[in-house]
Amino acid sequence: MDSQALQKPSPRQAAHDQAPPAALVEFMSQGWLERPAERSAHPQLARLHARRDALSRTFPGEYLALPAGCEHVRANDTYFRFRPSSDFAYLMGGGEPGALLVFEPEGARHRTHLFVPGHNRGTAEGFTDRIHGELWVGRHRGVEESGAYYGVDQCESLGAIDEYLDDLRARRASVRLLRGVNPAFDARFEERDADAELATHLAELRLIKDAYEIEELRKAVAITKRGFEDVIAILPLSRSEREVEAAFWRRARIEANDVGYLTIAASGHHACTLHWTRNDGALDRASLLLLDAGVECDSLYTADVTRTLPIGGRFSPEQRTVYELVYAAQQAAMEACTPGNDFLEPNRRAMSVLTQGLIELGILRCSLDEALGSENQLYRRYTLHNVSHMLGLDVHDCARARSEQYKYGTLRAGMVLTVEPGLYFQPDDATVPERFRGIGVRIEDDVAITNAAPENLSAILPSTADAVEAWMG
């Protein structure tokens, strides 16, 4: 038997790959033209430097290690499209698989040391490594170009990481690691409370968006609107939720990086399932389509918008009744999106409107105070979720922030949050009049808190019942 047949593939090769003989490796190492290095800087480098400086001042004298993340297996030896860690992107403006940014203490501040995939054309890795080989995945930015582009003090290839981290451990350096991003780095260091403090601090830095970030969110919303209009255009001839998902995704890939999260294209009673992403149901022209979808820009900032659309073009009386109640609740919540209010105030106002409506519809048979009371919260059978979460690089942004800064914190200018009340009348809920069963409605907008009135970034998408019907037309 040929000795090559006995060789097992490496984790970066497929089971059906053939190991290259030495002569082929030698042949592949020669005859490549030199490509001049591009030394352009990231267009937002000044902002990114300011962010890194702010992080440096918070943790003097300590090493900070922030991975960009790694590829995740989709099936066997194929991978999902890579997206860098949001915290890494927040500080660097992007990132490649396997990259690691280290803040090294230097006096009262830090120097930045970046490890990135190096060029490997002309090596065996370049044509045999399905994960990092440049003939498999395309040209990396490389060490020299990455150093200039990201504006770091030192840049090396990924091959230098092991020795570098071993040295940190041998010296018992104080290292805070952003955990949960790259398992290979998690395994190198014992977990400490200090790691969680780093993640929390980054999350809280991200609570306040600057002008550039808000403009990127506006851009994401504008493309999202065009995605919704693509859906509306294909609805008359579409038969399945998958066609809806595909129409929106097409726009996201044409004009941006991707969708910011799995699209919810929920028709009929599927709209009563909050995160319906199977999207395998049929479209019924008498039903509603709850479309919860957002485009993620190339900068990785994402929109998060929901509109509930009458598939046939017009709401039935029952659908309109539910829709207008949800819309009224959303307007009440919007009015509470002002600095100084606590984060949960928009939710309280929306729930009060929804609960009063449920009582008037005869669905809740009790007083408003009884239904809203913390010991009962009976309205939650039909509302299921609160109305807001932070929005930014992640669709559920700043998730590691402390509760006192986020959930129980105070709204401040620069925060961006969703406002998304909903009513969901399950098809098998005997407490709901039959004419309303199976109706699910959510209306969601992206709102920037300002020192003046709140800015509804997604107001460019129609949202009143009449405006939605006109949009459908």
pLDDT tens column, 184-211? 999 999 999 999 999 999 999 999 999 9
pLDDT for the residue numbered 6: 34
Q: Is the pLDDT of residue 422 over 60?
A: yes
Q: Is 319 helix (H, G, I), strand (E, B) or coil?
A: helix
Give CA separation, 336 vs 28, 209, 429, in Å.
65, 19, 32
329 and 412 part of one domain: yes
With beta carbons less than 8 A apart as the criterion, state whether 383 and 424 touch: yes
302 and 225 part of one domain: yes
What mean pLDDT comes out for the span 8-30? 81
Secondary structure element (H or E) that encloses residue 264, with its range: strand 264-267
Last residue of a domain, one of 171, 205, 239: 205
What mean pLDDT comes out for the span 110-134? 93
217 and 192 part of one domain: no
pTM of the model: 0.95
Burial 316-338 (b: 16+ CB within 10 A, else e): eebbbbbbbbbbbbbbbbbebbb
Q: Is the pLDDT of residue 263 over 70?
A: yes
Q: Compute the distance between CA of residue 385 and CA of residue 362 in angstroms, rounded to an integer.
A: 21
Q: Is 112 helix (H, G, I), strand (E, B) or coil?
A: strand
Cα angle: 204, vertex 207, 208; to 5 degrees: 120
227 and 166 part of one domain: no
Of 25-39, 92-106, 192-206, 226-240, the one with minimum mean pLDDT is 25-39
54 and 169 part of one domain: yes
Provide the CATH number for the domain around residue 466.
3.90.230.10
Structural domain total, the chain = 2
Last residue of a domain, one of 139, 171, 205: 205
Secondary structure element (H or E) that encloses residue 211, with its range: helix 211-234
The number of helix segments (H) and strand segments (E) in the chain equals 16, 17
pLDDT for the residue numbered 2: 38
Provide the CATH number for the domain around residue 101.
3.40.350.10
Q: Is the pLDDT of residue 4 over 80?
A: no
With beta carbons less than 8 A apart as the criterion, state whether 372 and 379 touch: yes
Q: Is the pLDDT of residue 228 over 50?
A: yes
191 and 254 part of one domain: no
Secondary structure element (H or E) that encloses residue 326, with its range: helix 317-335
What mean pLDDT comes out for the span 215-226? 98
What mean pLDDT comes out for the span 73-85? 93
Q: Could you list the residue range(s) of the whole structural domain that residue 132 is in?
A: 3-205
Q: Compute the distance between CA of residue 81 and CA of residue 64 in angstroms, rounded to an integer.
A: 27
177 and 277 part of one domain: no
Last residue of a domain, one of 205, 221, 236: 205
Q: Compute the distance between CA of residue 39 and CA of residue 155 in angstroms, rounded to an integer.
A: 13
181 and 216 part of one domain: no
311-336 pLDDT, tens per residue?
999 999 999 999 999 999 999 999 99
